Amino acid sequence: MEKTSSSQQQLSFSEFKKEVLQDYKIAVLSRECSLLGRREVLTGKAKFGIFGDGKEIPQLAMAKAFKKGDFRSGYYRDQTFMMAIGELTPQHFFSALYANPNIDADPMSAGRQMGGHYTTHSLDENGKFKNLTEQYNSTCDISPTAGQMPRMLGIAKASKLYRNLPEIKNSKFSNNGNEISWGTIGNASTSEGVFFETINAAGVLQVPFIISIWDDAYGISVPAKYQTTKENISEVLKGFQRDKDNNGYEILKVKGWDYATLINVYNKAAEIARVEHTPVLIHVEELTQPQGHSTSGSHERYKSKERLLWEKQHDCIAKMRDWIIEFDLTDEKGNSLKFIESEEELIRIEKDAKKEVIQAKKTAWKAFINPIKEQKKKLLIILSNLADKSSNKQFIFKLKNELDSTVDALRKDLLSTARKALVYVRNEESIEKKQLQNWIQHYFKTEQPKYSSHLYSETESKAQLVQEVLPTYNQNADLVDGRIIIKDNFDTLFAKHKNLFIFGEDAGNIGDVNQGLVGLQEKYGKLRVADTGIREATIIGQGIGLALRGLRPIAEIQYLDYLLYAIQILSDDLASLHYRSAGKQKAPLIVRTRGHRLEGIWHSGSPMGAIIHLLRGMHVLVPRNMTKAAGFYNTLLESDEPALIVENLNGYRLKEKAPNNFGEFKTPIGVVETVKEGTDLTVLSYGSTLKIVEDIVPNLNQVGINIEIIDAQSLLPFDINHDVVKSIQKTNRLLIVDEDVPGGASSYLLNEILENQNAYQYLDSKPSTLTAKAHRPAYGTDGDYFSKPNAEDIFETIYNIMREVQPSKYKKLY
């Protein structure tokens, strides 16, 4: 407070008093939500609860330093913070607890994530970015421990780019890079590798990044002595502290119950990060968990009586309460300055908070259950009418009465009952049966999307809507190495898209390990074409954060098997982001890597089966050459969806005609290509293995076999036009050639063709797959030959399929 006059001092204190009591109210409100939320779980109305009790006071301080335009990348203890910035109400809190699938009731995820996972809406109703500088921003949380750290780095990196590159200035996304990336994490979660990887990367990059460590000395039941060296993460990280000669972190420590000091610490941290773009680590110590880790257990099982007593004494709200009561200053005239005249004022705040939370709970429950009750009434009438007309009357009435007696029936109970009843009238015909059938079909149509929508974009920018544009060529087009194709296309894209960035190991100075970016860093600068350290998880995290903030990043993972270092971030964060935010956030990151056919255990695996199942929500693209790959980049930059492009390692030095419309030709997403027509057998493959199939065509022709070859091109999605089944209608036979392990991508493709395209009805022979062996590829040329499908394997497999058809023509080979 300024002390220029007694009247100003009184006015300042009055404002300060109002702010303190409002903060206390928010803290108590949040605590009451936690307490009542736990009871709702234990009584069965909610499935699971994980709450922010014990962390309320430091989150109030964090909220005071948090500005519009800033981003939070936190974890599931931050409910008080979200309440303090006005983005979470008690009614929202309980709606999330009940998993209400209405986005207005639960704006955090429309019931798709358990409570405690917080989101703000970055997108408008058309899927376009809102003005993010005019709102408080929270990235959509994930549960996996420390998984929020990598994206936090990218959010901070975006501020650095916006500050240092005037040509990408955009008032919707940044005000001169002043925005801070605020992260939160539990003390035990700092044991995770992605925490240390991110801490190191942020120190290297020097970005506006503040990580708060909520330290309550436990990781569920495991105390700090088993989690952290010295039982103190800020002690461990002292080497990151900046000094007069070296960049690094500002490391601050503060007690989690000390309201006044917390406010000062957070304001100091924000000033450092916002102005200097220096990362800050705030170690918030002596926090508690009044109700334990979650509703799945009691902390009395693993904490001593002494520890439980200490936690009660050091509860942050209790400490703030004592501070408010004890606060007593004297102004220049000798007047006493107090927050309250008596404890009754605090008791009234506490009672009002309890009433507000109870009412919010009731309102949220009614909003959740009443629509189901209305649906239940209609179904009960249908079931009653159906039973009256059925020979299985007693069984249907039994189902109807069981549903009627279920006090708080869920959507699952309704639909399950209806489907069971339908079985009892399967051999009957009646108007009532038709009514039940219509009810079930309508219920699926209206309710299923509440749980399944927005896995992919549903806007006009959807990648599948980008139309194919073929490459065009000059009459005497040069034959060049494939790496030249990809480089020249990237060159055009960087000139065309000022907000395009690419980064990865060796991507900058040497122009990537296969020379697909050679010379581009010199041309476009070290910020747009950047080298990174060997840290795959944070390479992906950088990309997610940049994409969340309106930039168009390409994150390069040097080799396909290195993707496994980042698969958790790709799967749990990027691939599920649009889905788990119910379409309210997007990160159109393009992940670039290369793989297939290199000889040896490392860099030559093709774990496509794992990738396509773990990355649902992304597009997975497998171009056979660099022109096709370049076309995919061109397509994706016209869309708003994330994707993985696996460039063909063998393709960089293979000759291709150089197009004359770089940056314009587009490879369609989800469309296969017939590269050779034939009559005897359909062979489906992709990537480098497809070339081996092409190479054996002359050998097959010599023995009278004419195959049709189809390039999958895109695994997610696969063949949206169902061209493979059209081919099988002609050839009546199918072979899938794949260098993944048995049961990997080939099984996925077989499932797509047989079940989704119903190709089984056109097959005259058993559909076959030819894959790599179950082990990793052994080293060397011989190792490759005996590990992956080779020319002879493919020839003999095709020959034996045809031998089954015409054994007299195709004699047994051996």
Catalytic residues: 603
DSSP 258: -
Omega before residue 717 within 30° of 0, cis: yes
CB neighbour burial string for 137-161, b if at least 16 within 10 angstroms, e if fewer: bbbbbbeebbbbbbbbbbbbbbbbb
Query: Where do the H-state alpha helices sit in 43-85?
Result: 56-65, 79-84
To the nearest 10°, report the CA torsion of 145, 150, 151, 155.
Answer: 140
Which helix (H) or strand (E) segment holds residue 219: the answer is strand 218-219
Q: Give the other-Cβ count within 10 Å of 18's Cβ.
A: 11
Sign for the pseudo-dihedral over CA of 677, 679, 684, 689: negative
Q: Give the other-Cβ count within 10 Å of 559's Cβ.
A: 17
Annotate 698-765 with DSSP letters as a single string: HHHHHTT--EEEEE--EEES--TT-HHHHHHHHH--EEEE-SSPTTSHHHHHHHIIIIIS-GGGG-SS
Q: Is the separation of the CB atoms in 187 and 224 below 8 Å?
A: yes
**Ramachandran assignment for 580, one of left (phi > 0), alpha (psi -120 to 50 degrees), beta (any other):** alpha
Question: What is the Cα–Cα distance from 713 to 734, expressed in whole angstroms?
Answer: 17
- Residues linked to residue 591 through DSSP beta bridges, in sequence order: 555, 644
Phi then psi dihedrals of residue 620, to 5 deg: -120, 115
Question: What is the Cα–Cα distance from 632 to 516, expressed in whole angstroms?
Answer: 15
To the nearest 10°, report the CA torsion of 142, 143, 148, 150.
Answer: -90
Q: Is the separation of the CB atoms in 663 and 727 below 8 Å?
A: no
Question: What is the Cα–Cα distance from 637 to 773, expressed in whole angstroms?
Answer: 37
3-state secondary structure (DSSP) of residue 670: coil
Which helix (H) or strand (E) segment holds residue 336: the answer is strand 336-337
Residue whose token pair is 């499932």: 751
Cα–Cα distances (Å) from 627 to 357, 400, 475, in that order, read 60, 61, 17
Question: What is the Cα–Cα distance from 178 to 353, expressed in whole angstroms?
Answer: 36
The strand pair at 218-219 and 222-223 is best described as antiparallel
- Residue type (1 letter), 554: I
Planar angle of CA 472, 478, 482, nearest 5 degrees? 85
Q: Is the separation of the CB atoms in 714 and 740 below 8 Å?
A: no
Closest Cα to residue 524, out of 506, 509, 546, 536? 509
